[in-house]
Amino acid sequence: MRRSFLAVLLVLSLAGCTDGGSRAPFAESRTPPSLASRFYPPDNWAWGYVRVGDAPAQRYGVSAPPIGPRATIVILTGYGEPAEKWFETVQHLNSAGYTVWILERQGQGGSERLTPWRDLGHVDSFQPDAAALRALVKVVIRPRADRPLLLLGHADGALVALGSVEDGLPTDGLILSSPTFALKPSSSRSSALYPWANRLKLGWIRSPHEKGWSRAGPDEFQSALTSDRVRGGVQQAWLTANPDLRMGEPSIGWQAAHEEASGLVRTKTARVQAPVLILAGGKDTVTPNALASKTCSALADCRMVSFPAGRHVLHMESDAVRNVWLAEIDGFIRAHIAARTQRRNS
């Protein structure tokens, strides 16, 4: 089995040598004409890049509220998500008085690619993501003492957020939405073979049964990641209109990096003293809620809220779920604002 698997890797690597593409980071995107205005960029939205050492540049975006900011939120996207997908949520958070930053993951969205195949999500480790987050917070954002700083991580972005806090990144609170502490089992994944691919420097290819991005591929509603038909088509619309944002299935190396990161995160939960809010969908078929509950129990200060009708992508869910999801986030942030105000006035 290993011999045939490695033969497939070699064939795919040679076939890939003729495939073109650009690794360069990408900032200004084209708004799909099919989207309603609520999915447009927030007012005063601005793009930037953060680079740590020799690591590829990662794209970030930011927008401030129309009033004096009351808190700062940093969003860590999940696999394959461009920041553009979060615009509706950012507008809501801005209207509540929060400055919102979105850091896209390494090799995804508008960030610089690690391979010439732009729709291939590949990394060797999640550590550069954590380093970029630290640099964004400490060098670019430079949090103010009178405003709480909170991290909001979705899916595997939650691993980066939690792992960064475990390693000493200061924050007032963590919000983990549908955290993928483990990948969904798949017949196309055989983690025992990852080391063989990495030893041959072939970790950057996809598993043989996983595919690149396709215009005809299912959107998030059709994939049962959300029950909202309109919001379920938002990501596919952005990717269709902007080829540089397109993402297919992840590489073998990315899957190995996820396994490594999830294992490390679960062994260091005792280091986290900041309050944590975990938000999980009752109908999430991507990641087991039991593991999120176990992780929450291991944290010093954690509360988990489950949405019975919610699927994996809670920020793109129907209003009945999404509005409660937003209310939980807003309440968590307001509690930190009130606590900080009380400390300042005492």
135-183 pLDDT tens trace: 999 999 999 988 999 999 999 999 999 999 999 999 999 999 999 998 8
Question: Within a domain: residue 47?
Answer: yes
Q: Are strands 58-63 and 46-50 parallel, antiparallel or unpaired?
A: antiparallel
Give the Cα separation of 200 and 203 in Å (integer).
8
By mean pLDDT, which of 12-26, 61-75, 201-215 is the weakest?
A: 12-26
Question: Within a domain: residue 10?
Answer: no
Q: What is the CA radius of gyration of the chain?
A: 19
Q: Are 46 and 62 in contact (CB under 8 A)?
A: yes
At residue 191, the pLDDT reads 57
The residues that bridge with 72 in the sheet, in sequence order, are: 99, 149
- CB atoms near residue 240 (< 10 Å): 16
Q: What are phi and psi of 47, to 5 degrees?
A: -105, 155
At residue 338, the pLDDT reads 86
Q: Are 151 and 165 in contact (CB under 8 A)?
A: yes
Q: What are phi and psi of 196, to 5 degrees?
A: -65, -40
Two tokens, residue 304:
């988990």
DSSP string, 287-300: S-HHHHHHHHHHSS
Two tokens, residue 46:
């601005």
Two tokens, residue 292:
């999120």
Question: Within a domain: residue 29?
Answer: no
User: Per-residue pLDDT tens for 109-134?
Assistant: 999 999 888 999 999 899 999 999 99
**Tokens 């089995």 correspond to what residue?**
1
Question: Within a domain: residue 210?
Answer: yes
Question: Within a domain: residue 14?
Answer: no
Question: Within a domain: residue 31?
Answer: no
Question: Within a domain: residue 230?
Answer: yes
Percentage of residues in the chain having pLDDT higher than 90: 74
Two tokens, residue 173:
């609170």
By mean pLDDT, which of 71-75, 103-107, 119-123 is the weakest?
A: 119-123
- CB atoms near residue 33 (< 10 Å): 7
Q: How confident is the model at residue 11 (pLDDT cuts 50, 70, 90)?
A: very low
Give the strands of the sheet with 276-281, arranged side by side: 46-50, 58-63, 98-103, 71-76, 149-154, 173-177, 276-281, 302-307
Q: Are 110 and 26 in contact (CB under 8 A)?
A: yes
64 vs 45, 68, 317, CA distance in Å?
8, 9, 24
* pLDDT at residue 19 tops 80: no
Positions of E strands within the chain: 46-50, 58-63, 71-76, 98-103, 149-154, 173-177, 276-281, 302-307
Which residue would you say has higher pLDDT here, 211 or 274?
274
Question: Within a domain: residue 19?
Answer: no
- CB atoms near residue 32 (< 10 Å): 18
Task: Give the count of domains, the chain.
Answer: 1
User: What is the value of pTM for the model shown?
Assistant: 0.91
Q: Residue 326: which H helix or E strand, with range?
A: helix 319-345
Give the Cα separation of 155 and 184 in Å (integer).
12
Q: Which domain holds residue 265?
A: 39-345
Give the Cα separation of 204 and 106 in Å (integer).
14
Query: Tell me, what CATH number does 248's domain have?
Result: 3.40.50.1820
Give the Cα separation of 287 and 258 in Å (integer).
13
